[in-house]
Chain A
Amino acid sequence: MSTRTTPIPDPVAMVPPGVSVSIRNVDKYYGAQQVLHDVNLDVKDEEVVCLIGPSGSGKSTLLRCINHLETINTGSIVAAGQIVGYRMHRGRLHELRPKDVGNQRARVGMVFQQFNLFPHLTALQNITLAPRKVKGESSAAAAAYARELLARVGLEGKENHLPWQLSGGQQQRVAIARALAMRPEVMLFDEPTSALDPELVGEVLSVLKDLARTGGKTMIVVTHEMGFAREVADRVIFMDAGRIVEVGAPDQVLGDPQHERTKAFISAVLH
């Protein structure tokens, strides 16, 4: 079975300078069904990119591939200077040990649609757990940074609240603080406002806008909030049926889409 394949070039070496996430020729299958088709995308340092598209277009799957929650079938993804999930050795990719995957993921923060806060831990414990257990930070240092982050997302005084004592918007803001606590270079947001009551969407978006404006982090946001994308994204990427269909500045993609499929989608969501 293990035939000697010809050595492949190191994916890291092919990443252009100033790029923090580089996705090259990525195909992804669920069983026999192909869900990503030859996806190529470079996201620059501190760039804010919004992924839009209909349900099932592969946006979330692509996002989940970037921190190895899903594995890819072909191609390569480089994030924060490392091949996601693998390492190069003598021209071949070697699977990483779980611990090394964990260390990679520590550099890529992720915020989920369903928040996924740990229900048995307080807001503060949710935020400090990973810094303490993965990065070995002291409890005091982790707690101090956690309080700083809670203040930043507008939740001073909620340290000791359990998730169920918080509204959906507050839970998602804790989840954002939890991801930021690892001081990641890249932040992935998987439809961060889709599970929220309409009146709570604004508070989460304003935290995201603040993050985008402050800079310092590469952000990839899967979203259906077109207003948000137009306001904060450096680039908007439209995906359909597992392919990147159109990439461009927000005003161009959302205001003057070129591709027929993009036009149909934009006119449908903007009424």
Chain B
Amino acid sequence: MTANISPGTKSNPTIKPPKLNVVPVRHYGRGTFAVIVCVLLVLAIKGLIENPNFDWAVVGKYMFNGAVLQGLVSTLLITVVSLVCILIVSVVIAVMRISKSRILSSFAAGYSFFFRAVPPIVLLIFIGNIGLFFKNFELGIPFTDVMLFSVPVRDVMTPFLASVIGLTLAGSGYVSEIIRAGLISVGRGQHEAAAALGLGGGQALQYIILPQALKVLVPPLGNECIGLIKTVALVSVIGGGDILTVANAIGANTFRPLEMLMVVAIWYLIVVAVMSIGQSFLERRINKER
């Protein structure tokens, strides 16, 4: 053991630095507040567990119910698909935002303003019911009769698709701004070095700028991910088939809505805990690479 210890090593467990022998300051306010917090926490948990109107057996029964688990899978699926769409749309919008073309950058600015301003639930209800406004999705050349294609809205706009579109629009308003910040964080010297070597704008973005921006972007994007999975619960208003949709349906049938919400809450706690661990793991790895 001791043979391995070399002088000057930073963390040497055998060396105990001396400590000044002093009477420490007593933090009375801190202590009192800690006691209050603990008491309140105990009371809250006790109230929930011992409440005669709340049937924990129902929670246990439906935790692993097939329909609930299917809803959970739907939630995860909507999250993943939306996330991929959000990232793609956001990179495009962020690049447009920093474009030298006034029209493109104005469009991108307007896009993020609009979709950050409109509440996601409003967007979802609107897109979920878009069939009420438009009978067909069609693409034609404006002011002519040329029609490239036309499909009935009801055939294509499933709740799943409506959910993904709504969440993508709502999310990309924010995420494009995050990505723009990441792109800007890469210094001018990097752009110049890439240009001086003859790399084109797209190549510089792909090989030099985006990889470096990504490192800055991992913490905020991780937060956005966790935010997104919670926003997915909103798709229940258009019957998106997520875990909350399922739980609400069961709750209405069994007259146990609160117990079913508890099931949803517990599943969310588990999923978000896993995601948070993944996030901190990813951040630590990136920090190690520096």
Contacts and interface: CB of A to CB of B under 8 A. Distances in A.
Contacts, number: 63
B196 A67 contact: yes
Interface in B156-214: 189-190, 192-201, 203, 207-208, 211-212
Contacts of A110: 196
Contact of A133 (B207, B215, B290): B207
Contact of B212 (A67, A114, A119): A119
A118 B208 contact: yes
B189 to A, nearest CB: 4
B290 A129 contact: no
Given A133-B207, A164-B290, A182 B189 contact: no
A102 B199 contact: yes
Contacts of A4: none
Contact of A116 (B189, B207, B215): B189
Interface string A99-116: 100111110111010101
Interface of A: 67, 69, 98-99, 102-106, 108-110, 112, 114, 116-120, 129-130, 133-134, 162, 164, 178-179, 182
Task: Name which of B199, B211, B289 has the most chain A CB atoms within 10 A of its CB.
Answer: B199
Interface string B205-233: 00110011001000000000000000000
A116 B197 CA distance: 11
Contacts of B203: 133-134
Interface residues of B, number: 20
Contacts of A134: 197-199, 203
A69 B191 CA distance: 10
Given A129-B207, A133-B203, A118 B198 contact: no
Contacts of B290: 119, 162, 164
B198 A120 contact: no
Contacts of B197: 105-106, 129-130, 134, 178-179, 182
A230 to B, nearest CB: 28
